Structure 1
Amino acid sequence: MSLTAAALALLLQAQPAPGPDPNDWWNAKVERPSPEREPLAGRRLDEGQSLPAIDNGVDPLLYRLWGLQPLQTQIVERGEMVVELWRRPSLSVRQAVIRVTVRRDGRAFVQARAGLGCCSPEIGRRVGVDAELASAEPYRNLAALPAWDAPRRVTVLDGQGSIASLCLDGISWDVTLLTQDRTRHLRRACDGAEIGQIADILTPLVAAALGRDPRIDVLFPRGADFEADRRAYDALIAASGRLEASKVP
């Protein structure tokens, strides 16, 4: 039996309106990120150029969970550098990442993230800062610091050759340097002497992030003050102690 014209009109009225074209979602214009968000965006490898080999224990996908471009994909030109730290507390999941990028055009940028690195696939309660720094001068000499030539991991030996006790409550630090011709990664446990050896790296990086978001500042109760750690390292050396390369790779 054929539908009458009236019944057909009612049937057509009952049909839902067509939804948006799903292709529109894929074809939407993607805005180019600002320099504050991605200081090295839009670069391409030259012929024969390869990306740096970075082994700092941070997977590229983990960087993306923190809202950062993976360090492994950054193309750094001559005269530029990226320096990064990870704050890793032993009795808390409140982690922080700070990255300073210095470009050869004289501009410098800081990207800082803080959040709960636990208990869910994403980084919980994450906050972030992306800002241009007033000057690149405080950071230009970071790549030349002698601390980068130290072993990746160290063990503290006092003047009698005894191994210092392990610290179970404190902050450990990972710092990574990336330049066009060099990559270095250092991991320091929460011993004051270990931290003191890289204090000249930590101080300007932390200072670059402070004062921009109080939720990040609260993770650094001493601010960018690592003087006590410097004194611990100096006292170790003065007492004929040393930081020896650890057997842990």
Structure 2
Amino acid sequence: MVRGSDIIDPEVIKNSPIPNGRTLSPEPMTGRPRAEHPVDLPKDVNGAIDFNAWEARLRKKGVRGLPDTELVKKINEARAGNHDSQAELRLAERYANAGYEVEIVRPTAETPAGDIPVIDEPLSPDLRIKLPGQAETARVDVKFREPGKQITKSNLNTQIDKANNQIRQSEEGNGDIIFDGSQASSGGLNQAEIERYLNGKMKGNRSAPEAQLKNVDYLEVIYPDTVSGQAVLKRSFMVRTADGNVNGPFTEKLK
């Protein structure tokens, strides 16, 4: 099992021997599949994001809004330059690519006057997911670091605590947290610092009184880093296994 400072590149070494003699399994002992790596967005002839094509691609993969107008709203917000909505849509596609049925949930606070909330909960995580044929659902919340801003421990901690509160107070009460720093500037927390933070942030068996982030099944941070003078994008993550224990941190190179 790879952890700590080992960098996993699934496109190159999945199920292959790695330098320390261990073999990387496709899933590091998790209770359910992780979100797939981000994919390139469709572009128009001018190189800009083709939002009509993206919406069609999302619908083809089974992503829908709850209610349906929520997907349309997010597409329109993303088209207008809303980075948070773009991050939600990218994440919805990642979970769909991992085999999940994905719903983008309208927050209770945004329920139009006279309508009934689609899910009556005080704080609404962004997505509701479930695997085909299974009744159990989980929630996912993404926090996006603004373009050009560095990832700091203070900001990371604030956003993860906020997402954890949303997950904890959701109807399901458990789920995943993604911190998307894919457009953050370099010079912020590096791999060793991210891993150290994750290792201290999410720990302990779910049933243990001292457990931290006990309602979280999966915690991921996407961030820029530098390797041998080259800029790379990575994700480091923790997974809570089916028995409630925590496994990780793991790190993968995305691009």
- Decide which structure has the larger Cα Rg and report it: 1
Q: Same fold (TM over 0.5)?
A: no
> What TM-score comes out, normalization by structure 2 length?
0.28
